Structure 1
Amino acid sequence: MNIPEGKKIYFSSDNHLGAPTQEESKPREAKFVKWLDEIKEDAAAIFLLGDLFDFWFEYKHVVPKGFVRTLGKLAEIRDSGIPIYFFVGNHDLWMHDYFEKELNIPVFHEAKEFEFNTKKFLIGHGDGLGPDDLGYKRMKKVFTNPVSKWLYRWLHPDIGVPLAKHLSVKNKMISGVEDQKFLGEEKEWLIQYSRKKLETKHYDYFVFGHRHLPMEIDLNGTSKYINLGDWISHYTFGVFDGEELKLKKLD
């Protein structure tokens, strides 16, 4: 993609809409919708890097209730011709084809390469990447198994949705205070993952979410690791102007 002069690419991650309750997340949703309304004026594309919702599961004919303002704004922006790309996170990993069919927004379940103005990007949510975290990796394989999803669909939505929401909040999958501490470059799994990838291929930027902690880390003088933070504590997002990717904070 070549970015037209005066246009930008925006990146956002980890809104966790619906948590800890629908009512309590409404002010965050209002800020996000207002932000979307502002950036549509100069956006060449928008990347949403997962955990937009604290829980999302698509039954054959049912999706979770709520988020009308967010979905409506995304539909409006997409209908105007601005590309939007969605990467599933660990909270919305059960997303299937609703966004694609209803909003014309492609959905990716793995990290993907992009090139903008000759700059190479590797973009994804970031969960399960890098060394260690073996417990989560095993759990993710179970949750994403087609048989597991088929069995879960047998739960009536009035049971399945509130049950999953309860477990999501109870298990602190919204980042807690301890989760937002920088561990050091040698212990941050996504930094290790990015450096390992650079051994075989050059990327100018690695862009991830998941950690809920805004980070800009120089990897080797020519590559950077960017973590987008979240819309719970930090309200941070990424902006690429065609030459450089920077983290910014909502005013």
Structure 2
Amino acid sequence: MISLETATNKKIYFASDQHLGAPTNELSFPREQKFVQWLNEVKHDACAIFLLGDLFDFWFEYKKVVPKGFVRVLGKLAEIRDSGIPIYFFVGNHDLWMHDYFEKELNIPVFHSPQEFKINNQLFLIGHGDGLGPHDKGYKRMKKVFTFAPFKWLFRWLHPDLGVKLGQYMSVKNKMISGDEDFKFLGEDKEWLVQYCKRKLNHKHYDYFIFGHRHLPLEIQLKPDSKYINLGDWVNYFTFAVYYNKELSLEKYS
């Protein structure tokens, strides 16, 4: 568990699901510019920034090659991290093939599963959110295939020009891989991440659960002292969460 303490007048920011590169690099470029602008603004009072996955619509790290593009956002993350502000990255279902590029090049730790953080003595469970909770068995089986080491080894033998093109096509076209086929609120009893959070509370108290993946900005009070927040996305909503004075809330960037 990682422990953090916020300094006076400092905030912690959370964002997810930028899906840069979708449906094409050219069409996602304005969203990349907007996200970089947001990063440039929040760095002035941030004591930490959490990115909860699907920053890219497709990402695969070859030993010597990473996907072309995204220079502005990578440069801004490097600048912020070099200034001393910690950044924590959680892989999503679209960038689950991330390995150590962020850690080596940007000094940003990468997490592949939900993690506990203690912030100002409040307990957080933070992750992307894909494959959690009951049901969604088709996607869970698909994820096991795509995270299977021999499969990744075989994919790496594809030339990057072919591998990246194929990966981008699959990310955009295949809804089972994307896991994002329904962006409407289904009700607490049918929201799998809500059910996941409630089950976790049966065994341990968390003040806050923070996830992405659903592409819906949601604030749900699970118990009087426990809240679930879904961060929405930077495709339709441009929402993020901010933690300040021991309170966590959703905000919209315009």
TM-score interval, normalised by the smaller of the two chains: over 0.9
Q: Is the 8 A contact 2:93 2:178 kept in 1?
A: no
Shift of 1:174: 6.3
Secondary structure in 2 matching 1:224: strand
- 1:26 equivalent to 2:29? Answer yes
Matches within 5 A, 1:1-80: 1-80=4-83
Amino acid at match of 2:198: R
Give the deviation of 1:167 after TM superposition.
Answer: 1.4
* CA displacement, residues 186-243 of structure 1 (integer Å, 9 cap, x when unaligned): 0000000000000010000000000000000000111000000000000000000031
Total equivalences in the alignment: 250
Partner of 1:90: 93
Quote the residue 1:149 is aligned against.
152
- Taking the aligned partners of 1:138 and 1:155, their CA distance within structure 2 comes to 23
Aligned residues of 1:11 and 1:47 also touching (Cα < 8 A): yes
The one-letter amino acid of 2:94's match is H
Residue in 1 that maps onto 2:115: 112
Q: Secondary structure at the match of 1:95?
A: coil
> Structure 1, residues 133-160: CA drift from partner, whole Å, max 9, x if none?
1111111111001101000001000100
- Percent sequence identity over aligned pairs: 72
1:140 corresponds to which of 138, 143, 146: 143
Deviation at 1:244, TM superposition (A): 0.3
Cα distance in 2, alignment partners of residues 136 and 33 from structure 1: 31
Q: What is the aligned partner in structure 2 of residue 165 from structure 1?
A: 168
1:250 and 2:235 aligned: no
TM-score by length of 2: 0.97
Measured after TM superposition, the shift of residue 53 of structure 1 is 0.0
Q: Where does the alignment leave 5 or more consecutive residues of structure 1 unmatched? A: none
Paired position in structure 2 for 1:182 = 185
Q: Is the 8 A contact 2:139 2:179 kept in 1?
A: no
What residue identity is the alignment partner of 1:214?
A: P
In structure 1, C-alpha distance between the alignment counterparts of 2:81 and 2:245, rounded to whole Å:
21
Name the SS of the counterpart of 2:210 in structure 1.
strand
CA distance in 1, matches of 2:245, 2:161: 46
Give structure 1 regions of 4+ aligned residues with deviation exceeding 6 angstroms.
173-176
> Residue 245 of structure 2 aligns to a residue in which SS?
coil
Query: Amino acid of the residue matched to residue 158 of structure 1?
Result: D
Runs of 5+ consecutive residues of structure 2 not aligned to the other structure: none
1:247 deviates by: 0.1
2:26 and 2:117 mapped to 1: Cα distance? 37
Matches within 5 A, 1:118-137: 118-137=121-140
Counterpart-to-counterpart distance in 1, 2:153 and 2:182: 32
1:141 partner letter: K
Give the TM-score, by structure 1 length. 0.98
1:208-247 equivalences under 5 Å are 208-247=211-250
Match of 1:122, SS state, is: strand
CA contact (8 A) 1:238 1:246 kept: yes
After TM superposition, give the deviation of residue 175 of structure 1 in Å.
7.9
